[in-house]
Structure 1
Amino acid sequence: MKTADGFIIDEEILKKLGANTLKTIRTNSNQIDVKIAEKLEDLEFLVVQGFSSEGIARARVDGNHHILELDLDPSYTDWNTSKEKTCALLTEAINDAIYKVDLAIQAEITAIKCKYSDNKDGNGSGE
C-alpha cells in the first residue's frame, strides 16, 4: 500500500497491529494534518526581519515568503558606486529573512508532530 506522502507500507505489518491501533494511527495522522494546516494559515501572518552580514541591509518577509520591505542603512554610501555590493547585501538580507521564516514554520510543525507522537493515552488528543 502507498500513502498519500508516497511511502510504501507493508500490509502484513498493518494486519499485525490490529484494528484499534490502526484506527488510532489514522486518527492521529488526520488530526496532525488538520493542526498543521491550521498552523500554516496562522503563519501566513508571521513577519520576520533578515539582515545582511554587515547589518546594512534589512528585509521583511511574511510567512508566505513574500518580501514586504527592503531597506538600506542611511549610513550606506556605496549604493551609487557599487551595484554588485548593494545587490549582494540585499540578497543576504532576503535570504536571512526567508531562512528565519522557514525555521519558524519547521519549528511549529515539529512541535505539532511531537505533541501527537508523545501522546501516551492513545486518544489522539495530543494533550
Structure 2
Amino acid sequence: MTMLDAARRLAAVRHGMTVIDCAGHPVGFVCAIKRPDPLAVNAAGQRIGQSSDLAALLPGALVAGEPRVTSPAVAARLVQHGYLRINASRTDQVDRYALADDVADVSDGVVRLSVPREALAVRHSGG
C-alpha cells in the first residue's frame, strides 16, 4: 500500500468508529486520527531544517504529546506514516496505535486492520 492509499483510508475514519483486527477481534474505538507527515523527523513532528530545536536533536526527550510509545523509532514511523489511536476494548484494556498502513478497510462504521491486535504499538501510560 502506498502512503497515498493509506492517507485516503485515514480520511474515511471518524472518531468513535469500532476497530477490529485481521482476525475480526475487537481492538477498541478510534479516539484520535493523525494524518501522515512524511517530512517529520521525530515524534514531535519536527521538520527537516529545525535541528537547532532541542526536541529535534533528542527525539522524544521533551515531548509529552502523542504518540506515547517507548521507542523513538516507532514514534517517528507513526508520525511519518499517520496513525489511529485506539482506546482499548473491554477485553484488552490496553490502548494501541495502528499505522495508517495497517488500515485494510473502512466501511459501515468499522475500521478493519490488516494486522493482529498484538502487532500494534502499545500506548505507554507512564509519565
Alignment TM-score, normalising by the size of structure 1: 0.22
Which structure has greater helix proportion? 1
Alignment TM-score, normalising by the size of structure 2: 0.22
